[in-house]
Amino acid sequence: MSRELSKFMSLVLRHEPDRIGIALDPAGWTPLDVFISKLRKAGHKVELADVERVVAENDKKRFTISEDGRRIRAAQGHSVPVDLGLSPKTPPDVLFHGTASASLDSIFATGLNPGSRRQVHLSSDASTALKVGGRHGKAVVLQVDCRKMAEEGHEFYQADNGVWLVDEVPSRFLAF
């Protein structure tokens, strides 16, 4: 149940809150008790402990429960408008982006763009990027020259789960 519940939570908290009739506040939070109630009405036999287990055991740390334990949100990856309230942060000199090899021509023509998401996601290690890229086909890992991007005024953010976020990555900052 945990994998199925995790996928459904990700869908609802990142992309389709209307699917179960919840509202996300401007920062992406929704009350945990309301969320659980709406999950139940959508046919999921779920208790608070089940949701807490998904949050704790999700390998990508996709979810965050507020410090007071009363709200939940997706850590990043939204396609619905939210402002996670993250402050700009100095990135490492290099970050990584995993993609499918079939996307390379487009990427080197236009750079990395968020597509349906709010921002481009970058990993701090190549192995994570390789896993991400593998979900879309034959995986390729691109290096992003974050030092030069930051010098040119691009702002980076780090989500609760450690994923780095940036509005775009122009192709001149990409390499294999």
51 and 104 in a single domain? The answer is no
pLDDT of residue 39: 97
DSSP-assigned beta bridge partners for residue 73: 64
pLDDT of residue 58: 87
DSSP-assigned beta bridge partners for residue 156: 166
Write out the residue range of the structural domain in which residue 46 sits.
Answer: 2-74
Task: Kindly state whether residue 36 falls inside one of the protein's structural domains.
Answer: yes
What distance in Å separates the CA atoms of residue 161 and residue 176, rounded to the nearest whole number?
25
What tens digit of pLDDT does each residue of 90-114 get?
Answer: 999 999 999 999 999 999 999 999 9
Return the beta strands (E) in the chain as ranges.
Answer: 30-31, 63-65, 71-74, 94-100, 120-122, 139-145, 156-158, 164-166, 174-175
**Low-confidence residues of the chain: pLDDT under 70:** 1
**Total number of domains constituting the chain:** 2
66 and 124 in a single domain? The answer is no
What distance in Å separates the CA atoms of residue 176 and residue 107, rounded to the nearest whole number?
12
52 and 115 in a single domain? The answer is no
Task: Kindly state whether residue 171 falls inside one of the protein's structural domains.
Answer: yes
pLDDT of residue 1: 55
14 and 53 in a single domain? The answer is yes
pLDDT of residue 29: 98
The burial class, CB within 10 Å (0-12 / 13-18 / 19+), for 163 is: buried
* Predicted TM-score (pTM) of this structure: 0.87
62 and 113 in a single domain? The answer is no
